[in-house]
Structure 1
């Protein structure tokens, strides 16, 4: 690991000039500063032990760090990173760029000031340029859960497109045709993959997609709950749904239990799992699965090994997810189930308009007709109003 004097000797500069450049002094011209930073990154320079420890890796977020939720990607990722750091006894520091980076310093200077030797980057759609800038500076870094065409950007991610298509084909093989997609509202690489996989499956079978069944939601339990309310109260509800986020999957199953929607008899659900949360649901959820812990582990292990000269300096890897069939998918029901947000169950209306006899009561929800009298079964007649059965 180079010292200030060694960097100065290589560049033909004085140690004082190199020191000022590394400390972002205004008395150093920009070209000299850029040369010094590039040389420091190439030589894996770190401040002396008296100033900062030399075995610290940063988990870097462009904004505020994302809170780890139960079953969420962040908690599994963090667990894997901590395990990966153990091999070479590195420590971890969580860093917010937006909070701590000074306006007049580049990323390398910022990380050196923080005493960080390498970084694991957790980025989002609107901050991908930050990853490219860090890579162009040459600071040791790897991006998790995203991928780049730029050969300088190291990354490790998962490809969920193929298994998303496989999941939808599984539902089509079970006789489902009205298959909904509840996708995360933020179009990051992962969720774009899952949306495209959904569309790929329909294209492969030459079946037209109903755009009304493709909805955006938030990646939280409440997102899954509201998606079920919205989808199952449609005049022609789906018989199956693919949720692209683990927490929205849990929320959807919870709401189905509350409304008495039987999974999978009334509604088949395919979820997404970043770890093993599918084994904590009832029924055990059919899911497209990625191992977020593995992503964290491999990113941390590669970065620390690379810093110690034990691994290649470039890594671009896309791991494959897997599709696991469990207990939340079954054959499409003979008659679809329609359930309003208050728990009222309706037969799905198809064909001619309802007769006058069945228009005794008008629902305020989307103008649905609900028969409140006693008569022989007809389209539009409620089949119960219990929240569970």
Structure 2
């Protein structure tokens, strides 16, 4: 691999001149710049990002932590973030906590050691060590979906309470009165917000949820599958189910099919997120669409402002969800 010294010797200039050409840190004549640039291309010289960061105090990298990138919701959010970062010349280092707060804390130390310019964090539940790590951290940061106690940072999320409300109201307007809810983990604020929206819609319609109609699980297809099996054992089966995300809803569809139920004539199911897979399930899944790509763009915009030194007050952005009615919901028989 070529070195800066070799480039300088081939171009007939000093190593400092090569550095100035690469980093635009001093005026260099057009003739010298062209000669150095040509040699760099000829020798396929790749400047050291570490060395450049030491000179410029910038690494042009953003660290991002997600709970589990096997969830398509995060994959689609990441796409919006990476596209926005690429446009402004930044790379994204992605860390996956696999829903383990200890692994999350370890990865955050790694990101900080890498001298990232900014951080995007979707926290994996509550964790005291995480709060301690971030409480005195000076790296610009945006929190997504889940706030961290004691940590002051810009915050972006979708309006999950309204999303849960609209999903449940959709089922009520179709004529359902026995409506169950399969929720994500009870210790995650987005899960609780969606449940609160579910409860608000029922209360507004004068409906009660019988005991056992609210089941907490995890945000996976298996979680939704097991939860619906539990609901189907109740003496009074629900005629409709609001699942806290699309993966759980798809798992519920599988459990319903195995039980001999037809969707939506025997059971209506609505999810949350509108992942790409929701359009290709059988039947196609009704859901609440989160503005995932737009959210990613906004997150990067907010973070870049902080990286560039913005001193404006901390911001909270609440983005709206929208109902996407497909084939998995219909009026009860």
Q: Point out the structure with the larger helix share.
A: 2
1:49 to 43, 48, 52: 52
CA distance in 2, matches of 1:87, 1:310: 20
CA contact (8 A) 2:65 2:104 kept: no
Q: Structure 1 residue 49: deviation in Å?
A: 2.4
Superposed CA deviations along residues 19-64 of structure 1, whole A, max 9, x for unmatched, are xxxxxxxxxxxxxxxxxxxxxxxxxxxx862658621111136xxx
CA distance in 1, matches of 2:184, 2:94: 25
Aligned-residue RMSD, C-alpha: 3.1
2:63 to 58, 62, 69: 58
CA distance in 2, matches of 1:82, 1:167: 30
CA contact (8 A) 2:142 2:154 kept: yes
- 1:242 and 2:239 correspond: no
CA separation of 1:274/1:133 partners in 2, compared to 1, >3 Å: closer, same or farther? farther
CA distance in 2, matches of 1:125, 1:170: 30
SS, match of residue 86 in structure 1:
helix
Larger Rg: 1
CA contact (8 A) 1:142 1:155 kept: yes
CA distance in 2, matches of 1:297, 1:215: 34
Normalized against structure 1, the TM-score is what? Answer: 0.63
Q: Figure out how many residues of one structure are paired with residues of the other and give that number.
A: 278
Superposed CA deviations along residues 89-125 of structure 1, whole A, max 9, x for unmatched, are 11122357945978xxxx8x97553221111112133
Q: Structure 1 residue 79: deviation in Å?
A: 1.4
Q: Which residue of 1 aligns with 2:41?
A: none
CA contact (8 A) 1:164 1:197 kept: yes
CA contact (8 A) 1:302 1:311 kept: no
Q: Which residue of 1 aligns with 2:197?
A: 197
CA distance in 1, matches of 2:282, 2:256: 11
Q: Which residue of 2 aligns with 1:173?
A: 173
CA distance in 1, matches of 2:270, 2:105: 41
Q: Structure 1 residue 285: deviation in Å?
A: 1.4
CA distance in 1, matches of 2:137, 2:147: 18
CA separation of 1:265/1:253 partners in 2, compared to 1, >3 Å: closer, same or farther? same
CA contact (8 A) 1:60 1:122 kept: yes
Superposed CA deviations along residues 124-176 of structure 1, whole A, max 9, x for unmatched, are 33138835863654421011112479793211111121131122122222221
SS, match of residue 119 in structure 2:
strand
CA distance in 1, matches of 2:110, 2:313: 22
Q: How does 1:355-374 map onto structure 2 within 5 Å?
A: none
Q: Structure 1 residue 186: deviation in Å?
A: 4.0
CA separation of 1:220/1:86 partners in 2, compared to 1, >3 Å: closer, same or farther? same
Superposed CA deviations along residues 186-205 of structure 1, whole A, max 9, x for unmatched, are 43111111100111011112
CA distance in 2, matches of 1:121, 1:50: 23
Q: Which residue of 1 aligns with 2:159?
A: 159
Q: Structure 1 residue 232: deviation in Å?
A: 2.0
Q: Structure 1 residue 213: deviation in Å?
A: 0.8
1:68 to 58, 67, 70: 70
313-322 or 52-61: bigger deviation: 52-61
CA contact (8 A) 1:306 1:313 kept: no
CA contact (8 A) 1:166 1:323 kept: yes
Q: Which residue of 2 aligns with 1:26?
A: none
CA separation of 1:131/1:78 partners in 2, compared to 1, >3 Å: closer, same or farther? farther
CA distance in 1, matches of 2:240, 2:195: 15
CA distance in 2, matches of 1:101, 1:231: 36
Structure 1 unaligned spans of 5+: 1-46, 334-389
Normalized against structure 2, the TM-score is what? Answer: 0.73
Q: Which residue of 2 aligns with 1:340?
A: none
CA distance in 2, matches of 1:235, 1:99: 42
Q: Which residue of 2 aligns with 1:7?
A: none
